[in-house]
Amino acid sequence: MSKLILFQGDSITDCGRGRDGDVYLGCGYPRLVQSSLGFDCPGEYEFINRGISGNRIVDVYARIKADIINLKPDYLSLYIGVNDVWHELGSKNGVATPKFEKIYSMLLEEVMEACPETKIFLIAPFAIKGGGTYNAEDTSYYEAFIKDLNEKIGAVKRVGEKFGLPVIELQPAFDNALKLAPDSYWTADGVHPTAMGHELIKRLWLETFEKIK
Amino acid sequence: MSKLILFQGDSITDCGRGRDGDVYLGCGYPRLVQSSLGFDCPGEYEFINRGISGNRIVDVYARIKADIINLKPDYLSLYIGVNDVWHELGSKNGVATPKFEKIYSMLLEEVMEACPETKIFLIAPFAIKGGGTYNAEDTSYYEAFIKDLNEKIGAVKRVGEKFGLPVIELQPAFDNALKLAPDSYWTADGVHPTAMGHELIKRLWLETFEKIK
């Protein structure tokens, strides 16, 4: 019996995944994981991506039954947080960090209660300079973005520690990647990864998966 | 100065690539190559996918200037042949093997003449049992498909030998994969690879690339 890996998150996870059934995982790190792990371990895993573009922690929380618990995944990969920052700056519709941390904890508690066998790991959000985060004429936007984002990263790490779950930290990995090639090589806009950026996430994902599987 | 890798072919290469510019390489082996090679060698390569669904050798030949020669690629990966078989069986619009081999040779001669520095490698087509190739109630369709496909594979190998170019042979690799998981794990229909099937192509592609780069 193959084991089910569920990817949950926002647009970085969604990446144009199919909406009619769970066949096509989109063009992001979930499909890269599926390609690589699926090739190396034929038939051992099934992969479902239920990420939705624009989602904040409260949106994932709203979908907890249909898109997490009812699927009874063997593994849950949760990557959320950048829209909780971005939507505040863009349209005053974000989620402040204390609430982010609270809802994130509630979500995990409920999943762990309903699916005690599910192995969960968390991916903390990242951002680098790019068209969606940085404006040379008004650097205060970028500063506010990074400040709030760092708070979100801290919250995900605290939540991971609280529940004893591994947390993949993308920010240092992308900061390091910037030493090798410019921002546009790794993301389209400071937030959405290119093919190479998704590969970076995939490789960290697989490293973490090897440890907990 | 980064080197340009051009992917050319049919739907297996196309895989929904972007049509407005060359940013998105689709969800197939070209993007998997871009992700992996682009991550491992930051800034060393650029990647363009000009595969078009439904193409036969004559269609690629018709596009030789706009979609190959004018781009002056450092590397050309050419994966064509299955529609030359399929379209004959489906709508009497295929390409018979002698003509396939002739036009394939003409294409390579013209590319090598116009772009003598371009390193070229060929990918021979494959097919396994699936919804697009096999009908349990009329196995003669599958038999005719495989017979003609094998002729195409032979033609690509002869052309590769004639011009001293490496040929990636997918058929033995997919035949071998079938020992590990059923056909639907590797292709959607006998022809179009799943994420895992594209990973198989990507890995053979990278092995060959390492030898000729």
The predicted-structure confidence for A27-36, as pLDDT tens digits, reads as follows 999 999 999 9
The predicted-structure confidence for A42-95, as pLDDT tens digits, reads as follows 999 999 999 999 999 999 999 999 999 999 999 999 999 999 999 999 999 999
HEC per residue, A71-130: HCCCEEEEECCHHHHHHHHHHCCCCCHHHHHHHHHHHHHHHHHHCCCCEEEEEECCCCCC
**Nearest CB partner across the interface for A39, out of B24, B34, B196:** B196
Q: Could you tell me the pLDDT band of residue A196, with boundaries at 50, 70 and 90?
A: very high
Q: Could you tell me the pLDDT band of residue A1, with boundaries at 50, 70 and 90?
A: confident
Instruction: Find chain B residues with C-beta within 8 A of A196's C-beta.
Output: 34-35, 38-39, 42
Per-residue pLDDT of chain B (213 residues; tens, 9 = 90+): 899 999 999 999 999 999 999 999 999 999 999 999 999 999 999 999 999 999 999 999 999 999 999 999 999 999 999 999 999 999 999 999 999 999 999 999 999 999 999 999 999 999 999 999 999 999 999 999 999 999 999 999 999 999 999 999 999 999 999 999 999 999 999 999 999 999 999 999 999 999 998
The predicted-structure confidence for A142-192, as pLDDT tens digits, reads as follows 999 999 999 999 999 999 999 999 999 999 999 999 999 999 999 999 999
Instruction: Find chain B residues with C-beta within 8 A of A34's C-beta.
Output: 195-196
**Nearest CB partner across the interface for B42, out of A32, A39, A180:** A180
**Nearest CB partner across the interface for A35, out of B38, B39, B196:** B196
Q: How far apart are CA A135 and CA A144, in angstroms?
A: 12
| Residue B202 at interface with chain A, using a CB cutoff of 8 Å | yes
| Residue B41 at interface with chain A, using a CB cutoff of 8 Å | no
| Residue A1 at interface with chain B, using a CB cutoff of 8 Å | no
